[in-house]
């Protein structure tokens, strides 16, 4: 099975830690995490291995105050712009579940051209930036569990309406962290989306 390597990256507020897998030349994928999860979640779920074994370079980072990353002063509006070049370079697909949308949304709004695509997994608080998201031109995959009690599944279509041609995948019987309940279906949708974005770029 593919092994994940640990790493650290310095930013203005200190150091962030995480895990990576896959060949350096692989299609870059940056995995963020939700409120009660960490980079290790993606290792334990098998996501890092699945991505690496399918040709991607997968990087999962502990956001400030989570996992091995100490709490630090970090502006959600600028953190990704600061750390992304060192982690995955330009044009990655970024996966943002739940609360990590607050890091990805500002980046999408300001720097969409630096992304290959965005995977939004039941992100909280998207309504606050919905009007700005309508100006974003970017391939988007929206994933939601139909048993989500944190951000009810009706939000999937409201979020999709912010983008032209967004794909929506509803995972049946899955809760808010829907990828935990339906990992095989989540991985299938993620791999198909990554392949589509690479074909679009190429």
- Spot the catalytic one: 98, 111, 146, 199: 98
Above pLDDT 90, what percent of the chain? 93
- pLDDT for 201: 52
Give the model confidence (pLDDT) of 156-167 as tens digits: 999 999 999 999
Burial 47-77 (b: 16+ CB within 10 A, else e): bbbbbbebebbbbbbbbbebbebeeeebebe
Query: For 19, how many CA atoms within 13 A lie in the half-sphere containing its CB?
Result: 22
Largest CA distance in the chain: 43
What's the pLDDT band for 2 if we cut at 50, 70, 90? confident
- Spot the catalytic one: 20, 69, 148, 187: 148
- Model pTM? 0.95
Catalytic annotation present for 148: yes
- Spot the catalytic one: 69, 100, 176, 187: 176
Helices (H), the chain: 39-44, 47-53, 79-87, 101-111, 130-133, 155-160, 178-181, 183-201
Q: Which residue has the tokens 């092994």?
A: 3
The residue-averaged pLDDT of 95-112 equals 97
- pLDDT for 196: 94
What's the pLDDT band for 199 if we cut at 50, 70, 90? low
The residue-averaged pLDDT of 84-92 equals 92
Instruction: Decide if pLDDT at 119 tops 70.
Output: yes
């Amino acid at each position: 099975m593919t092994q994940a390597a640990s790493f650290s990256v310095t930013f203005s507020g200190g150091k962030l830690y995480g895990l990576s897998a896959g060949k350096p030349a692989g299609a870059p994928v940056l995995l963020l995490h939700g409120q009660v999860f960490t980079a290790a979640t993606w290792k334990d779920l098998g996501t890092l291995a699945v991505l690496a074994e399918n040709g991607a370079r997968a990087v999962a980072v502990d956001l400030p105050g989570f996992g091995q990353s100490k709490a630090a002063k970090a502006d959600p509006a600028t953190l990704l712009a600061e750390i992304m070049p060192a982690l995955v370079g330009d044009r990655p697909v970024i996966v943002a579940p739940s609360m990590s949308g607050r890091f990805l949304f500002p980046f999408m709004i300001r720097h969409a051209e630096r992304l290959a695509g965005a995977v939004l997994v039941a992100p909280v608080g998207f309504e606050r930036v919905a009007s700005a998201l309508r100006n974003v031109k970017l391939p988007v995959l929206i994933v939601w569990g139909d048993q989500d009690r944190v951000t009810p599944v009706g939000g999937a279509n409201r979020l999709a309406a912010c983008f032209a041609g967004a794909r929506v995948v509803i995972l049946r019987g899955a809760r808010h962290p829907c990828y935990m309940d339906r990992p095989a279906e989540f991985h299938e949708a993620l791999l198909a989306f990554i392949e589509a974005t690479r074909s679009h770029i190429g």
